[in-house]
Structure 1
Amino acid sequence: MSAIALIGAPGSGKSTLGPLLAQRLDVPFVDVDAVIEEREGRSIRDIFADDGEDAFRALEATVTLELLTGSGVVSLGGGAPLTPQIAEALDGVPTVWLQVDAHHAVTRIGLDQGRPLLAGGGIRGTLIALLKARTPVYASLATVSVDTNGREPDALVDVIVAALEEA
């Protein structure tokens, strides 16, 4: 089995649904951000603060491209699909877009200060802007699109598995 990519905005459910989907499919799960943090020995927030977003995006691209060549469920960072090399690498990879609106995303995220692009207050407004900018990209890359708003994880995994089988 090749990789299955999960894409979506912060709060869309990638970290929750990814392990459940991998378990259901009996494949490994890997979160790109977790791999970056492990390899770098520091948090994504610290990488942003110390090295800047451009340096983080370069690191993210390297790790994402590597992980997409493997197998299992790969949870991408919310902004990863905007990187041209990553978008190109997703061509031919089953890609599940976990759709979420700003209200549900904020409810799930809370005041998570570990997300650098959402730090500094105004999380809802920032999410609305991110969703507006990223939605066309997510839509263009998705093999499968699933609305996660107000739905239980196990039910969503059922929907994703069925959709992947049909795709």
Structure 2
Amino acid sequence: MTSLVIPKFEAKQVGQVIATIKVANRIDQVMAERGFISTAEVRSFVLNDVLVDTGATLLGLPTPVIESLGLVRGSSTGVETTAGIQQGWIFRDVDLEISGRRGTFDCLELTNVNYALLGVTPMEILGLEPDFQNQKLRVLPMTSEQTYLSVL
């Protein structure tokens, strides 16, 4: 597993949550599971200082990370930014692991920043929520008595 350290923010601001995540190419993982490549050939990174962004929908990864992972480009889409609606690319099949929870997601390419953003959709699916007071991610319960998942 390769480690990529995203530049540290000067200091955590009040209400700012920073996380460490692991991202991998899910297609590589399937190829390794089926014996076509070795597990050492699975492209993956540990990203430190990922900004938890409750205003973002998806996982956002900088272009160099996407290129190093060899992700498959999906569709172009309009993305709301502070500069207005911009065109962006969605990339497919990112295996995302945070605090022992894992899932496969699409991600948005971040072309103008050198850090990753964790949006609300992957957090909700993985049962994570920002704890702004303690400035960390909280893992929601998933036991036989209590679970964050529902189908009501």
- Answer yes or no: same fold by TM over 0.5: no
State the TM-score bracket (shorter-chain normalisation): under 0.3
TM-score by length of 2: 0.26
Structure whose CA Rg is larger: 2
Q: Which structure is richer in relative contact order (CA contacts within 8 A, separation 6 or more)?
A: 1
TM-score by length of 1: 0.24
